[in-house]
Copies of this chain bind each other. A is one copy, B any other.
Amino acid sequence: MPTEFNRPLAPEDWEIIRRSALFSRVPEETVRRMVEGGVVVSLPKNAMVCGWGAPADSCFIVIDGLVKVFRTGEDGSMAVLAIHGAGRALMLAEGLNGSPCSASVETIGASRVLRLDAAALRRKIAGDGRLAMSLLASAASHLRMLVAHIEELKTMTGPARLADMILNLAGVRSGSAQVTLPYEKQLIANRLGMTPESFSRAMSQLKAHGVTVSRDRLTIRDVARLRAFATPDC
């Protein structure tokens, strides 16, 4: 368990938060009030941010690095629910109504997160409808992500899910593209709901659809073609 280093919010961290998707449409003054009193926590790789079932007395905002949100079964199996980077909130809904953490969170690389006291946040919201609204918006986007995740799991095959993820990473509509896998393949595999072996085979299949792989760098020859494979109909 390596040491964690804490300090108050520095200007460059403030900029990251200010610009994040979560707050980009919220008045600056409102954001400032929300993060007031927060502490920046620096964490090494594989550090636990919070554990399932624990009281969520803090909320977090990722400033830097990547974290995985996951559940573990009694048998030690793990299901990755999401992987979050800068600007994403963690344990927001839980912290705000005093419920226990619904999942565990760990860093997957050296990261910095802003820790906010849940009780203080609650007080601020009670007095600021605008802040409440922006947090509700955050919850809504979180919900949409989970819903999309479930839909994927229920309706797409493994290789299709992988293709879909790669296309999202590429973020391009047509032509060719270069993508770098943002983290270990094992983790991606779990996030996509498959074993590392299946992941590897799925990747092989994509080679037949214009994807070349070298290490963690992918080249998509024709984005439209790959999309046609990921979403056969429509």
Residues of A within 8 A of B (CB): 71, 73-75, 77, 79, 81, 93-94, 96-97, 99, 102-103, 122, 125-130, 132-133, 135-137, 139-144, 146-151, 153-155, 193, 231-234
Question: Lowest 8 A-B CB distances belong to which pairs?
Answer: A126-B129, A93-B140, A74-B234, A132-B132, A75-B233, A139-B139, A97-B137, A79-B154
* Min C-beta distance of A212 to chain B, whole Å: 28
CA distance A231 to B74 in the complex (A): 8
- Complex contact B139–A133 (CB within 8 A): no
Question: By DSSP majority rule, is chain A's interface helix, strand, loop, or mixed?
Answer: helix
15 interchain pairs, CB-CB under 8 A: A73-B151, A79-B154, A93-B136, A93-B137, A93-B143, A97-B140, A103-B147, A127-B129, A128-B129, A129-B132, A132-B133, A132-B136, A149-B150, A153-B154, A153-B193
Partner of A146, one of B77, B128, B150: B150
* Min C-beta distance of A95 to chain B, whole Å: 9
Given contacts A75-B233, A102-B148, 13 further A-B contacts (CB under 8 A): A79-B154, A93-B136, A96-B133, A97-B133, A102-B144, A125-B132, A126-B129, A128-B129, A132-B132, A136-B139, A139-B139, A149-B150, A150-B150
- Complex contact B155–A153 (CB within 8 A): no
Given A147-B146, A154-B153, check contact A126 B132 (CB 8 Å). yes
- Complex contact A81–B150 (CB within 8 A): yes
- Complex contact A153–B153 (CB within 8 A): yes
CA distance A149 to B125 in the complex (A): 29
